[in-house]
């Protein structure tokens, strides 16, 4: 573990803490951290651009859909997603990790 790893862990912790307490997005802290990683050559640029572009398109479409769908339905869909995610995490917690040679 080096200083870059510790910076990433600390940045993730602070972003998560601030997101949970005051509702800010993680981009406030993750973007500077990712910029450091990019400058150090730790980022595959093409996949990162494709993922970022997909995220932008998905965010715009999601916002347009959210405006049209009634709040109670959105709440139920979000709740179902959270229950599904929790179930997956719970079941994965009991699986053994594949052994590396």
Provide φ and ψ at 97, rounded to 5°: -75, 145
State yes or no: pLDDT of 25 exceeds 80.
no
Give yes or no for residue 84 having a pLDDT over 90. Answer: yes
Report CA Rg, the chain.
Answer: 18
Q: Cα separations (Å) of 18 from 28, 78, 79?
A: 10, 22, 23
% of residues, the chain, pLDDT over 90: 12
Inter-residue contact 29 to 14 (CB < 8 Å): yes
Domain ranges of the chain: 3-46+66-93
Of residues 4 and 63, more confidence is placed in 63
Query: Which tops the pLDDT comparison, 3 or 67?
Result: 67
> According to the model, what pLDDT value does residue 97 have?
73
Amino acid 22: pLDDT? 66
What pLDDT is stored for residue 28 in this prediction?
A: 66
Q: How far apart are the first and last CA of the chain?
A: 22
């Amino acid at each position: 573990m080096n200083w870059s790893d510790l910076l990433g862990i600390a940045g993730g912790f602070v972003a998560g803490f601030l997101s949970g307490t005051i509702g800010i997005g993680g981009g406030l802290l993750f973007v500077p951290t990712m910029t450091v990683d990019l400058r150090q050559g730790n980022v595959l640029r093409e996949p990162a651009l494709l993922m970022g572009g997909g995220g932008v398109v998905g965010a715009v479409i999601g916002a347009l859909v959210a405006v049209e769908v009634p709040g109670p339905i959105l709440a139920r869909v979000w709740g179902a997603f959270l229950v599904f995610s929790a179930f997956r995490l719970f079941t994965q917690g009991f699986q053994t990790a594949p052994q590396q040679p």
